[in-house]
Amino acid sequence: MTMKIAFIGFGGVGQALAELLHTRRQHLLETYGLDTQVVAVSDVMKGAVYHPEGLDIPTLLREVRENGSVTEYPDHTGLIKGWDSIQTIEQSNADMIVEVTFTDVETGQPAIDHCKCAFTNKKSVVTTNKGPVALAYRELAQLAEENQVYWGFEGTVMSGTPALRMPLASLAGNEITEIRGILNGTTNYMLTEMEKGSAYQDALEKAQSLGYAEADPTSDVEGYDVRYKTAILANYVMGYPLASRDIPCKGISGLTQDDIKEAKASNKRWKLLARVKKEGDQVTASVQPELIDQDDSLAGITGPTNAIVYDCDMAGEIMLTGAGAGLIETGYSLLIDIIDFHRTKTPIVAHEEDA
| Burial 124-152, CB ≥16 within 10 A → b, else e | bbbbbbbbbbbbbbeebbebbeebebbbb
User: Is 229 a residue of the active site?
Assistant: yes
Cβ contact 277:283 at 8 Å: yes
Of the residues 46, 229, 271, 278, only one is catalytic, namely 229
Cα distances (Å, whole numbers) of residue 9 to 15, 87, 269: 9, 13, 40
Return the closest-CA partner of residue 111 out of 94, 128, 123, 88.
128
The dihedral sign for the CA sequence 349, 110, 283, 300: positive
What Rg, from alpha-carbon coordinates, does the chain have?
A: 21
d(CA 322, CA 94): 32
For residue 247, count CB atoms less than 10 angstroms from its CB and return exposed for 0-12, middle for 13-18, buried for 19 or more.
Answer: buried
Catalytic residue list: 229
